[in-house]
Structure 1
Amino acid sequence: MAGPFAHLADDLESIRQKNLYRSRRVIQSSQGVHVQIDGRTLVNFCSNDYLGLAQHPAVVKAFKNAVDEYGVGSGSAHLICGHSVIHHALEEELAAFTGRDRALLFSTGYMANLGVMTALLDRSDAVFEDRLNHASLLDGGLSSGAKFKRYAHADVDSLAVHLQQATGNKLVVTDGVFSMDGDFAPLDDLSRIAKQENAWLMVDDAHGLGVIGEQGGGLLEYYGLSQADVPILMGTLGKGFGTFGAFVAGSETLIETLIQKARTYIYTTALPTAVAAATRASLQLVIQEAWRRSKLNALTQRFKCGAGQLGLTLMPSSSAIQPIRVGGSHTAVALSNALFDAGFLVSAIRPPTVPQGSARLRITFSALHDEQHVDQLLDALGKIMHD
């Protein structure tokens, strides 16, 4: 290819040669335990709909009713005329659910993370991030203009050294449940060292809220941490809650600061009102139906036990995310394709999403799976991995 994009074609070919090329599978059905692709029905083991709420009748009904009353689009940004009574009610309910003064809706988790860090930090400040943080957290820290340091994964001692050398405002940022590994951040120790060094602590609990803890309060409930321990909490709505969007929860001062200064909040159209209505319904299910978390935990434990019997090496995870590290990208893709042929949808996760040499199969569970699904997946893995 000639012209200004010639080098892009070369880059794409290089990506292909390294087995890192990304492609999309076209889903021909609704989201759920079973999905249709190319006319085939597969058991889905790569969704983040952990509690199985994306197709729940009460959530769907709330969405439809709100569309009839409020229409499809929100019409504008929150600060113009897009902030409806439904948005406001959801924010108040999320604040109560997380035990915080206030909550603020964002259109996506990516926008929430960028908005928080660019609003709170400038060049005189410093931000410290776990090496395995989600891309949106890393991008938020880099976009803030603050001095940017990455500490060794879950290594509080490494973080402490960096904090002691810093000046200005200091923000420590971590995932709660790490999305590609499934392990938990040591939030109790991170909170302790952040307080000791007069730093803020921000936790992105996208994969914990609704899923972890007896009440679904996520990693903060798991560790028994309050707003004073973790001043900034970000949560997404498209995973445990089964809908779409995100929120930040914290003090009155934090939320008002974000309303005034977070560009990704100020300069974008508000979440559709119907999505907020659906989320209010799903939030009630998260609170009331603890059996979903119990079942999810039971299925995860069944898989871990079966994987151990098969001699499969799982990464250390106590969450519904159960990765099998296989090393090379070519191997990960080949195993994912073999599982697809056997009737299972399991993603191959490759660099740059994960570090070089740590490509993996990322297996995730839903409360809508049953024991038979787990056993069938184990049978398929046993045959494919030992081929």
Structure 2
Amino acid sequence: MSWQRRIDSALEQRRATDSFRVRLANQQGSARYLVQDGTRYLNFSSNDYLGVSQHAEVITAWQQGAEIYGVGSGGSGHVTGYNEAHQQFEQQLAAWLGFPRALLFISGFAANQAVIAALAEKTDSIIADKLSHASLLEAAMHSPAQLRRFAHNDVASLQTLLAQQTDGEQLVITEGVFSMDGDAAPLAEIAQATRYVGGLLMVDDAHGIGVIGSEGRGSCYQQQVQPDILVVTFGKAFGVSGAAVLCSEPMANYLLQFARHLIYSTAMPPAQAYALSAALDVVRRNESRRVQLQANIARFRKGAEQLPLKLMASQTAIQPLIVGENQIAVNLAATLREQGFWLTAIRPPTVPAGTARLRVTLTASHTSDDIDSLLEALYDATR
């Protein structure tokens, strides 16, 4: 089979199963409203949970950072790219979350890939929640270690796998809040099971940081767990982009020596780190935004319980409505778009077959009227 035939066959298969992805350029996509092709929609697909991407202090900080440092880092952090703005934000973040060290990465995907690739050896076992993010599972599958998956949020399933014989070390991986189901991991029980066998615990809290716990310190802080490795990202509640790995001093030094994504990638622009420092200040002091988000979640769930769709058991900003068939989910999203609501139909392979869904994401920027209007449109569309 030629390369072209292979590509054509793969694309045709995606189209045939109603899972072909298309990107649409928008003029504004992270705030309460999304503007696409000149039309304004109420946006229920943004991960900007606290509205920080539009916060004046953060925008001003990025502008100031660009004036001070320019718009790029100029190289890898191991050459010339590591700047005082990076160092100061790493120290600020580590102190806030109670870890000895923080290391900045260009994205959460890169951070997860880098950590697993640097740590995993052939005799090791990686034991991951079966619904862990693609960046985690892909890195584990590509590593020389054996990947085993425990049933979603099932501590007994995890313990069974941890009890199996292994010649090397065991790395347990989970998320704080799961990006497609919106539910939270039982981190305290997972940590206890991991510690019992001397394993290493890695938690990706991309969707928990900023919105859960005191000052938004996230899922681990809320459950009084300090994992060996905590990954937080800045493209959700922080309203910017990038990620950080929180860990011990020896682990940080190890990653600085062996994490290839860190060593061989151009570092985050210093202006971005400068803006992230301002974003952290905004996140910490905006408890009212977290309270508003929780109120919006409760309002949506109360209304959505009356819909003829399965509402997942999520108490977070991610509120999936299970539709089932791919084409029905696509059609439903299109119908809602005609009514002025922007929702995304999530289909396999992102989620398991037969669980295509509308992934509703709520933010503190939404008003009660926004939520009520969406619920009315959903009632009409699913009638």
User: Unpaired runs of 5+ in structure 1?
Assistant: none
Partner of 1:79: 78
Shift of 1:313: 2.9
Cα distance between partner residues in 2 of 1:91 and 1:73? 18
| Correspondence for 2:249 among 246, 252, 257 | 252
Query: Where do 1:1-387 residues align within 5 Å?
Result: 4-29=3-28, 31-165=30-164, 166-226=166-226, 230-310=227-307, 312-386=309-383
CA distance, structure 2, for counterparts of residue 287 and residue 10 of structure 1: 49
Q: Is the 8 A contact 1:114 1:143 kept in 2?
A: no
Tell me the distance in 2 between the aligned counterparts of 1:310 and 1:134. Answer: 28
RMSD: 1.2
Percent identity (aligned): 43
Letter in structure 2 aligned against 1:133 = S
Partners of 2:317 and 2:10 in 1: how far apart? 35
Q: Does the 8 A contact of 2:30 with 2:53 survive in 1?
A: yes
| CA–CA separation in structure 1 for the residues paired with 2:252 and 2:112 | 13
* Aligned partners of 2:124 and 2:146 also within 8 Å: yes
Runs of 4+ in structure 1 deviating by more than 4 angstroms, as ranges, are none
Partner SS, residue 54 of structure 2: coil
Task: Please list the CA deviations of residues 217-254 of structure 1 after superposition, one character each: whole Å capped at 9, or x if unmatched.
Answer: 1111221223xxx1110010111101110000011011
- Secondary structure at 2:214's aligned position in 1? coil
Between the aligned partners of 2:299 and 2:214, the Cα distance in structure 1 is: 19
Counterpart contact for 2:103–2:244, Cα < 8 Å: yes
Q: Secondary structure at the match of 2:53?
A: coil
Output the amino acid matched with 1:257: Y
Flag structure 2 segments of 5+ consecutive residues without an equivalent: none
In structure 1, what residue type is equivalent to 2:151?
A
Deviation at 1:7, TM superposition (A): 2.6
Q: TM-score, normalised by structure 1?
A: 0.97
- Supply the AA of the counterpart residue of 1:264: H
Going from structure 1 to structure 2, the CA distance change for 1:4 and 1:168 (only over 3 Å counts) comes to: closer
1:31-53 residue CA offsets vs partner (Å, 9 max, x unmatched)? 31111112110010001101100
Secondary structure in structure 2 of the residue aligned to 1:72: coil
Report if aligned partners of 2:105, 2:242 keep a CA contact under 8 Å in 1: yes
The letter for the 2-side match of 1:41 is: R
How many angstroms apart in 1 are the aligned matches of 2:97 and 2:316? 20
Report deviation, 1:167: 2.9
Conserved 8 A contact 1:176-1:206: yes
Structure 1 residues 127-172: Cα deviation after superposition (integer angstroms, max 9, x where no partner): 0011000000001212221111111111111111111113311100
How big is each residue's C-alpha offset from its partner over 1:334-380, in whole Å with a ceiling of 9 and x where there is no partner? Answer: 11111111101101000000000011000001111111110110110
Deviation for aligned residue 1:6: 2.1
Deviates more, 1:156-165 or 1:236-245: 156-165
Letter in 1 for 2:167: T
Q: Distance in 2 between matches of 1:242 and 1:382?
A: 31
With structure 2 as the length reference, what TM-score do the two structures score? 0.98
